[in-house]
Amino acid sequence: MHVRLSKTFTFEAAHYLPSFPEGHKCRRMHGHSFKIDVIVEGDIPAGQHHLVDYGDIKAAIEPVRTQLDHYCLNDIDGLNHPTSERLAQWLWKRLRAALPLLSEIHVHETCTSRCEYHGPDGA
């Protein structure tokens, strides 16, 4: 059986987008309540009744969440231009080794705006 599992985590962080034009509101320091969906996908192995333990997904996410929560994203190595797109890519790089079945990352910057990232090969 082929399934997709999603685990959501949240964090609060500030950022500014220096690549945006002068006068643009996002160029100024501001904050968000980020919501991140981490999605793993695959076939349930024979003789097993689940794909991945949700607790294992949470354990992979927690060190990354702690690194982001209540920080300025621009100050974190690799996030000097922390758009939703770059944040999704940054998260992928940090979670992929611990979650080999990682399929997608969704970054919800606001309740109406999100980025969906499917990895470097677009799978």
Q: Which residues are catalytic?
A: 26, 70, 109
Contact in structure between 35 and 8 (CB atoms under 8 Å): yes
Helix axes 54-68, 84-95, angle to 10 degrees: 130
**Residues whose CB falls within 8 Å of the CB of residue 53, separated by 6 or more in sequence, listed in order:** none
Taking Cα atoms as reference points, which of 59, 54, 5, 38 lies closest to residue 104? 38
Residue 53 burial (CB count, 10 A): 10
